[in-house]
Amino acid sequence: MQNQIHIQRFAEENVSEIYKAVRQLIVPGQSHYERLGIFASLHRAWGDDPVRATGKAAASWAAQFSQPFPFFFNKTDWARLLFLIMASEHDADFLTAETFDSMIRRGDHSEQITLAKILFYLPEAGEYRQTAERMIATNSSDVFKSLAHHNPYPMAYFSDLMFQQMVLKALFIDLPSRPILGLDQRANAELFRMANDYVREREIASRSVPRGFAYIESLQAEARA
């Protein structure tokens, strides 16, 4: 819970208007679906403007999470993250693995993107691993990117196999691979083999080398050295 306290303190000091408004939304006696409805409505309320942090706040964030401040969270992401944290403080049974799974299935595009982005910062984040790993199969490249890029969750919780699948899919849909956090630590002989095989297949078919491959190649070279 230490992390969630830090998140709330950051919000109270840096985006107090969001913090205060979301606090008002936690009301006793709300049904489960009402809460999920409020989560959805926060996009209308807060929009897509980014939230910036002062140098001091960003440094304290980095010290707490061993992660850079998530500069790409917009106001909606912050409101939704705070809402889930506060709702689960208020009602310990609210945010379970089942709830998270249901939010992904019932969420629209914007909700799924938010959930992928904020996943790492939710209480008991490890509990949502199965749903998160299944999200790799999403047919939305925006949702996939939110999960794969600048996101500490896969590095922290994904199995080796699913982490590799995510890297391969990034190659496959031609996303860069450098923004995949922890790739330098998670890359192993198995991943290199799969990536090399894929690129060779493409070369035989006279197709271009996916742009994410250069970084993986550089990791291979390092590993050989």
Partner 1 sequence: MKMFDPHIHMTSRTTDDYERLAAAGIQAVCEPAFWMGQPRTHVGTFEDYFLSLVGWEKFRAEQFGIHHVCTLAMNPKEANQPDLAKGVLELLPLYLQKDSVVAVGEIGLDDQTPAEQEVMAAQIELAIKFNLPILIHTPHRDKKEGTQRCLDIVKESGIAPEMVLVDHNTEETVQGVLDLGYYAGHSVYPHTKMEETRMAKIAKEFGSERIIVNSAADWGVSDPLMVPKTVQAMRDLKISEEEIETIVWKNPLGFFAQSGRLDVEKFETRPSFDQAKLFQDNSVLRGQAPKASGPAAN
User: What's the closest the beta carbon of residue 137 comes to partner 1, in angstroms?
Assistant: 11
**Does residue number 24 form part of the binding site for partner 1 (CB under 8 A)?**
no
Phi, psi values for residue 50, rounded to 5°: -75, 160
Pick one of 1, 5, 16, 34: the residue that binds partner 1 (CB under 8 A).
34
Q: Which one, 42 or 82, has the nearer CB to partner 1?
A: 42
Residues in the chain: 225
Among 109, 134, 200, 207, binds partner 1 (CB under 8 A): 109
* Euclidean distance between CA atoms 85 and 8, whole angstroms: 8
φ/ψ region of 193 (left if φ > 0, alpha if ψ in -120 to 50, else beta) reads alpha
56 binds partner 1 (CB under 8 A): no
Residue 196 near partner 1 by CB under 8 A: no
In angstroms, what is the minimal distance from the CB of 17 to partner 1? 19
Give the contacts of 6 (CB within 8 A, at least 6 positions apart): 60, 61, 64, 65
Contact between 64 and partner 1 (CB under 8 A)?
Answer: no
Query: Which residues between 124 and 143 bind partner 1 (CB under 8 A)?
Result: 138-141, 143
Q: Considering beta carbons, is residue 143 or 187 the nearer one to partner 1?
A: 143
146 interacts with partner 1 by CB under 8 A: no
Look up tokens 């919780």; give the residue: 157
Strand partners, 190: none
C-beta of 52 vs 109, nearer to partner 1: 109
**What are the φ and ψ backbone dihedral angles of 74, each rounded to 5 degrees?**
-95, 180
The span from the first CA to the last CA of the chain, in angstroms, equals 42
- Residue (36 or 125) nearer to partner 1, CB: 36
